[in-house]
């Protein structure tokens, strides 16, 4: 005869590690705690685990009450709750009725439903996606089954410390999202006013990034992209996306979602309806010659409504992270993000002598209520000139020509052309630039 399969003991000292290792079986089963009579964990065939406590009434009938689900509730917290309920039972109180009344109050899950129904629709798509991610990965796993009224400073501090680790910024955002939810709870009357515990949690300060690319780094970036395209490690469209960000100062999400319908070659503009300051209206930005060259290359194929399509063509490209990492390794660039190209664009524009308000407008920053109302810069005016000269400088740096900081490249060309009597030198230079861009894309 074969020996029977060894089964787990049914009476053990329950710990988080032991409960986490419990595997589902064909039928529901229970593992009882050896310390607290009646306290146990129940595992369903689908793998869900819940803490329960069992009592025996005076008539001999056994009654079980669910305390909470694992891992939203840990073993120690569940054990303390079981002890409290057992004391209530000894005092003659109806524990089941007490738990039903307690559970009729609102849990975090209920609060999230209120947020999704009444508040989430007011957020921008990208902000809502960020909230959803933080709720799904950080807040609900830790506090999902907790009562809103019971969430304390210790709970929030524990959540922050557990999420902090290598990503303190993300942990800070998790506390900010939770704080917003608990403020909504106060508005709903689920907590007394002024009891939001998130306000007391000390968070590590976010260090503002100041990284910009040097002339040498811009040249190495371009050289690496050309080499990787030649080797088939990235596509020409991948490289053009990064050049588009470098020559425009756009956010990576704005560049990736840019559609041909948003581009007007005749008016020399690109329009963004969704952006960080979209409550002030559409953002209309100028197209400089470098951006036009990239657009024309992709307009010839136009296999998708998007300038930089994803694999399915009906959606925008969404894999810049891995592409960027590959390029940085090839170029031997460290501590660099695509957003640093945006910062480089702004710094270059300012170094060329343009007012900060012009650079802020090109980047789509809000200037403040008064200035946003009275300052309406046109794409074909100083904005267009600033965009062109900034992109010219960055292009020269990427080609390895080492322009001096603050030197207007087009102005230098015009001065040279004046001496030789060629008034159309800038146009010829632009056309040669387009030819070089086309040859580079074919590589």
Q: Is 180 among the domain residues?
A: yes
262, 296: one domain: yes
Structure tokens at 50: 């819940």
| Pairing verdict, β 283-286 and 269-272 | antiparallel
Asked whether residue 92 is domain-assigned, the answer is yes
pLDDT of residue 419: 39
Same domain, yes or no: 148 and 234:
no
CA distances from 188 to 119, 181, 193, 329 (A): 12, 10, 10, 51
pLDDT, position 40: 94
Q: What CATH number does residue 23 fall under?
A: 3.30.160.390
Neighbouring C-alpha atoms within 13 Å toward the C-beta of 23: 4
| Assigned domain for 4 exists | no
Tokens of 382: 């100083």
Phi, psi of 283 (to 5 degrees): -100, 115
CATH code where residue 173 lies: 1.10.150
Which residue, 81, 103, 125, sits at the end of a domain?
103
Each as own residue / partner, the long-range contacts of residues 356-362 (CB below 8 Å, 24 or more positions apart, any chain) are 358/382, 358/383, 358/386, 359/249, 359/386, 362/249, 362/285, 362/286, 362/386, 362/387, 362/390
Whether residue 316 sits in one domain with residue 185: no
Residue 206 belongs to some domain of the structure: no
Range of the domain at 414: 215-442
- Per the listing, tokens 């595992």 go with 43
Buried b / exposed e along 31-69 (16+ C-beta atoms within 10 A):
bbbeebebbbbbbeeeeebbbbbbbeeeeeeeeebebbe
Domain membership of residue 1 (yes or no) is no
Write down which residue in 200, 228, 256 finishes a domain.
200
Count of Cβ atoms closer than 10 Å to residue 375 Cβ: 13
The pLDDT value given to residue 146: 84
Is 344 within the bounds of a domain? yes
User: How high is the pLDDT of residue 99?
Assistant: 74
- Are 285 and 420 found together in one domain? yes
DSSP conformation class of 198: G
One domain for residues 160 and 55:
no
Total of domains in the chain: 3
For the chain, residues with pLDDT lower than 70 are: 1-10, 100-105, 165-167, 206, 274-281, 366-377, 410-443
Same domain, 372 and 250: yes
**For residue 403, is it within any domain?**
yes
Question: Do 57 and 187 fall into the same domain?
Answer: no
Whether residues 29 and 126 share a domain: the answer is: no
Domain's final residue, options 74, 103, 132: 103
DSSP notation for 49-97? EEEEEEEE-TTS-EEEEEEEEETTS-HHHHHHHHHHHHHHHHTT--HHH
Whether residues 42 and 131 fall in one domain: no
Let me know whether 238 and 314 are in one domain: yes
Report the alpha-carbon distance of residue 276 to residue 127 in Å, rounded. Answer: 9
Is 58 in the same domain as 135?
no
Q: At 223, list the tokens.
A: 């050289």
Question: Which helix H or strand E contains 279, and what residues bound it?
Answer: none
> Is residue 6 situated within a structural domain?
no
170 and 282 in a single domain? The answer is no
d(C-alpha 122, C-alpha 359), whole Å = 29
pLDDT at 341: 95
- Say how far apart CA 112 and CA 179 lie, in whole Å: 12
Residues 406 and 348: their CA atoms lie apart, in Å, by 7
């Amino acid at each position: 005869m074969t020996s029977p399969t060894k089964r787990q003991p049914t009476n053990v000292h329950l710990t988080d590690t032991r409960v986490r290792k419990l595997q589902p079986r064909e039928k529901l089963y229970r593992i009882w705690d050896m310390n607290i009579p009646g306290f146990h964990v129940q595992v369903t065939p689908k793998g869900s685990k819940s803490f329960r406590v069992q009592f025996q009434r005076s008539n001999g009938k056994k009654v079980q009450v669910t305390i909470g689900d694992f891992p939203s509730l840990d073993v120690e917290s569940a054990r303390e709750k079981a002890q409290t309920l057992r004391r209530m039972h000894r005092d003659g109180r109806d524990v089941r009725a007490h738990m039903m009344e307690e559970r009729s109050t609102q849990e975090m899950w209920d609060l999230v439903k209120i947020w999704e129904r009444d508040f989430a629709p007011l957020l921008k798509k990208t902000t809502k996606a960020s909230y959803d991610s933080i709720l799904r990965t950080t807040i609900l796993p830790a506090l999902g089954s907790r009562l809103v009224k019971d969430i304390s400073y210790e709970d929030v501090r524990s959540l922050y410390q557990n999420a902090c680790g290598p990503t303190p910024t993300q942990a800070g955002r998790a506390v900010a999202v939770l704080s917003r939810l608990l403020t909504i709870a106060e508005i709903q009357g689920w907590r007394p006013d002024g009891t939001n515990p998130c306000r007391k949690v000390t968070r590590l300060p976010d260090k503002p990034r100041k990284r910009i690319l040097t002339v040498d780094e811009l040249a190495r970036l371009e050289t690496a992209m050309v080499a990787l395209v030649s080797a088939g490690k990235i596509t020409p469209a991948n490289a053009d996306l990064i050049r588009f960000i470098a020559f425009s100062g756009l956010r990576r999400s704005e560049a990736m979602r840019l559609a041909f319908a948003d581009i007007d070659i005749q008016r020399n503009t690109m329009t963004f309806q969704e952006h960080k300051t979209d409550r002030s209206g559409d953002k209309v930005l100028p197209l400089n010659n470098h951006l036009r060259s990239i657009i024309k290359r992709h307009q010839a194929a136009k296999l998708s409504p998007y300038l930089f399509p994803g694999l399915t063509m009906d959606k925008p490209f969404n894999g810049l992270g891995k592409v960027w990492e590959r390029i940085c390794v090839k170029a031997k660039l460290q501590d660099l993000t695509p957003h640093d190209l945006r910062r480089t664009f702004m710094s270059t524009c300012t170094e060329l002598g343009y007012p900060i308000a012009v650079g802020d407008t090109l980047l789509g920053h809000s200037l403040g209520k008064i200035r946003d109302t009275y300052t309406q810069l046109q794409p074909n005016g100083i904005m267009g000139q600033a965009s062109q000269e900034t992109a010219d400088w960055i292009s020269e740096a990427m080609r390895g020509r080492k322009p001096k900081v603050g030197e207007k490249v087009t102005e230098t060309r015009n001065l040279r052309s004046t001496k030789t009597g060629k008034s159309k030198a800038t146009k010829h230079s632009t056309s040669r630039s387009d030819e070089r861009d086309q040859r580079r894309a074919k590589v």
